[in-house]
Amino acid sequence: MHQKVAIITGGAQGIGKAIVRHLLGRGMAVVMADIDREAGRETLAEFKKLGKVRFIPTDVAGESNVRKMVAASVKWFGGIDVLVNNAAVMANAPFDQLRLADWNRVLAVNLTGAFLCAKHAAPYLGKRRGAIINIASTRAFMSEPNTEAYSASKGGLVALTHALAMSLGPQVRVNCISPGWIETASSRKTSARQIPRLSEADHKQHPAGRVGTPDDIAALVDYLVSDAAGFITAANFMVDGGMTRKMIYV
């Protein structure tokens, strides 16, 4: 059997980094496609001992960038089995002050980026009965004020998931994970790393009793890309400690 190959966008830090570690642990060869060179180089140095891993600087919002990243992945490792669309940015601002350029950038990275990566990886994924995982957010379904661009991009990603599942099945399964509050301050590059400042109340308000970790998301990615998940496609999974099901009337 061939060694499976995974591309993780935004894989250099945070949740993406945990996904890279989990898939390396599963014996896959992994390509981290991230716009942050400093983070990419640092994570590459950290993970080299875990298996076959490469970093390629990529802006997922640019089609020529994505085309090059996919071609390099195939050249390095011979094909693609898994694509995780995880890269994202936020531009929160009062609705009436949100600049069109910022709205467009958030949509371009978070939604168009996933479309471009899927488009260029699909021919290779199809040859290997591959899987795509889109990392959306509970903000696709619920909101705080002043989050229009991010929420809209994530809502679009949930819809893109079921559309792609219809177009690419049965060769490629496409699923979505919507994380809730995941603590990532401690898994950023060294120059941006912070000690998490989580209060008792932050944890306690979750029906699961705690804030989430990147490993909570990576563990589900691990399962969804495995053969055991062969009947699961076009689905969205809330991984939020129960917060989206909690009534909060005061």
Ligand X SMILES: NC(=O)c1ccc[n+]([C@@H]2O[C@H](COP(=O)([O-])OP(=O)(O)OC[C@H]3O[C@@H](n4cnc5c(N)ncnc54)[C@H](O)[C@@H]3O)[C@@H](O)[C@H]2O)c1
Q: Which residues bind ligand X (CB under 6 A)?
A: 9-10, 12-16, 34-36, 39, 58-61, 86-89, 109, 135, 137, 179, 181-182, 184, 188
Closer to ligand X by Cβ: residue 60 or 82: 60
Closer to ligand X by Cβ: residue 10 or 130: 10
On whether the CB atoms of residues 82 and 23 are closer than 8 A, the answer is yes
Residue with structure tokens 């371009």? 108
Q: What is the SS3 assignment for 5?
A: strand
In angstroms, the CA 74 to CA 68 distance is: 10
In angstroms, the CA 84 to CA 19 distance is: 9
Q: Taking each helix axis from N to C terminus, what angle separates 148-168 and 100-107, rounded to the nearest 10 degrees?
A: 30
**Residue 249 falls in the annotated catalytic set:** no
- Closest approach, Cβ 228 to ligand X, in A, equals 23
Closer to ligand X by Cβ: residue 86 or 147: 86
Cite the DSSP H helix spans in 13-142: 14-25, 37-47, 63-77, 100-107, 113-127
Closer to ligand X by Cβ: residue 50 or 198: 198
- Closest approach, Cβ 170 to ligand X, in A, equals 27
Active site residues: 150
